[in-house]
């Protein structure tokens, strides 16, 4: 397990990050874990293995698992019009007769894309993003310009709000509480969306996220002084509070696309659920999650790969496919999980569902404009961390 420890230490030592943590696991066994650097730069407080950070798009795995637990309970149908669980009719303006389903949204093939914002606010509705005249309609920029209905991959943060809103209406509770009940508590982990359910101890040990210029000090991006933040921490229109929120009206409120605060230990437990080493999903549902829903094709082009970062997707999980575009050179078998990037944080959770070996990692800051990767569409530091972890786990051909 030497390679990952050395790589993490080097990333922090050369000031590519103020701090970072990583974990390797097989089945339910933790093979190695470690942390380096700082969680609070001005206070020189060390990053702990249990320090929680805003893990960006890795959060989407937890969002997907929450919805899939409701599918297992027959409260949501993967292939039924999601409008039935939203409280409004969702239609692509170019294809008004074509229903959009949860399966399409989970695999990012519903024709939804990000506009200028996807911030959830008490006093606003999710519907306002998708219907002409809505407060956040943004000239319809949230709808991809497609020549035929659906199937074309357009990665979307905004679309996660639709899944969260469907969960609220089907499950009869706020999204943050549903994730606790259906996913986090069964997995035995203390984490939550937008700080919901996080203990005083965990908040005190949590990490601030940073960026810095090529020459300069680390600058706070989000979660400065975490222990002082409200829990949950949500945005509201002036004069309103969380008590004014109407259940099932704005699925973006708890940032289902990226607002999970979790440690690498927490992420490892989620990875164990994906591999089946920890029982969370029924076997048939876990098989469905791992079944390819979209694979990139260049001609005719069937998706936007974000510079090569996206090559395949399952049901709510990214597929890491061996080959020339893979950030892990020599990867022997496909892995599933997700990248994370926001507010300086870079992260990942990846598992081989066959061997049940996997890893999770994050760094708590990066440069404004990190160095690009040498073989894929992700950053160099991501390639380095992923390669080191896969090497240590014996998942590559040397």
pLDDT, tens only, 368-398:
999 999 999 999 999 999 999 999 999 999 7
User: What is the spatial distance between Cα 230 and Cα 79, in angstroms, rounded to a whole number?
Assistant: 38
pLDDT band at residue 260 under the 50/70/90 scheme: very high
For 327-342, write each residue's pLDDT tens digit.
999 999 999 999 999 9
- What is the number of other CB atoms lying within 10 angstroms of the CB of residue 225? 13
User: What is the spatial distance between Cα 390 and Cα 103, in angstroms, rounded to a whole number?
Assistant: 30
Percent of the chain at pLDDT above 90? 97
For 181-211, write each residue's pLDDT tens digit.
999 999 999 999 999 999 999 999 999 999 9
pTM of the predicted model as reported, rounded to 2 decimal places: 0.98
pLDDT at position 148 is 81
- Residues 270-283 have a mean pLDDT of 98
In a 13 Å sphere around the CA of 190, the CA atoms on its Cβ side amount to: 11
Specify the DSSP class assigned to residue 181.
I
pLDDT band at residue 122 under the 50/70/90 scheme: very high
Which residues are CB-neighbours of 195 under 8 A, at least 6 positions away? 203, 226, 229, 230, 231, 232, 233, 261
User: Where does residue 125 rank: exposed (0-12), middle (13-18), buried (19+ CB within 10 A)?
Assistant: buried
User: Which residue is associated with the tokens 């009206």?
Assistant: 249
| 90, two tokens | 């969702």
| 306, two tokens | 């974000």
Whole-Å CA distances, 21 to 42, 332, 360: 19, 25, 8
pLDDT band at residue 105 under the 50/70/90 scheme: very high
- Residues 91-101 have a mean pLDDT of 95
């Amino acid at each position: 397990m030497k390679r990952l420890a050395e790589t993490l230490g080097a990333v922090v030592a050369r000031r590519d990050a103020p701090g970072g943590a990583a974990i390797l696991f097989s089945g339910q066994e933790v093979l190695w874990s470690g942390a380096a650097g700082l969680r609070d730069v001005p206070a020189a407080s060390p990053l702990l293995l249990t320090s929680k950070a805003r893990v960006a798009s890795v959060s989407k795995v937890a969002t997907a698992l929450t919805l899939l637990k409701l599918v297992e309970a027959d409260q949501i149908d993967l292939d039924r019009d999601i409008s039935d669980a939203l409280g409004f009719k969702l239609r692509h303006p170019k294809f008004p007769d074509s229903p959009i389903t949860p399966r399409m949204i989970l695999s990012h093939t519903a024709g939804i894309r990000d506009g200028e914002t996807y911030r959830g606010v008490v006093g606003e509705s999710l519907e306002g993003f998708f219907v002409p005249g809505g407060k956040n309609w943004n000239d319809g920029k949230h709808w991809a310009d497609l020549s035929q209905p659906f199937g074309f991959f357009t990665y979307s943060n905004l679309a996660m709000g639709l899944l969260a809103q469907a969960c609220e209406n089907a499950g009869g509770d706020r999204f943050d509480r549903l994730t606790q009940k259906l996913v986090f508590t069964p997995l035995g982990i203390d984490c939550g969306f937008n700080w919901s359910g996080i203990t005083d101890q965990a908040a005190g040990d949590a990490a601030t996220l940073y960026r810095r210029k090529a020459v300069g000090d680390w600058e706070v991006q989000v979660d400065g002084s975490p222990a002082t933040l409200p829990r949950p921490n949500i945005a509201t229109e002036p004069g309103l509070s969380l008590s004014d929120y109407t259940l099932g009206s704005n699925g973006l409120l708890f940032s289902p696309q990226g607002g999970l605060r979790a440690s690498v230990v927490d992420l490892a437990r989620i990875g164990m659920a994906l591999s089946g080493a920890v029982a969370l999903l029924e076997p048939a549902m876990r098989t469905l999650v791992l079944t390819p829903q979209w694979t990139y094709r260049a001609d005719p082009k069937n998706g936007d790969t974000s510079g090569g970062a996206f090559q395949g997707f399952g049901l709510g999980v990214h597929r890491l496919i061996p080959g020339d575009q893979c950030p892990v050179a020599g990867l022997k078998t496909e892995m599933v999980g997700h990248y994370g990037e926001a507010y300086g944080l870079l992260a990942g959770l990846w598992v081989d569902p066959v061997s049940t070996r996997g890893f999770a990692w994050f760094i708590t800051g990066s440069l404004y404009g990190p160095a690009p990767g040498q073989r894929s569409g992700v950053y160099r530091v991501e390639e380095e961390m992923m390669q080191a972890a896969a090497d240590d786990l014996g998942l590559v051909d040397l």
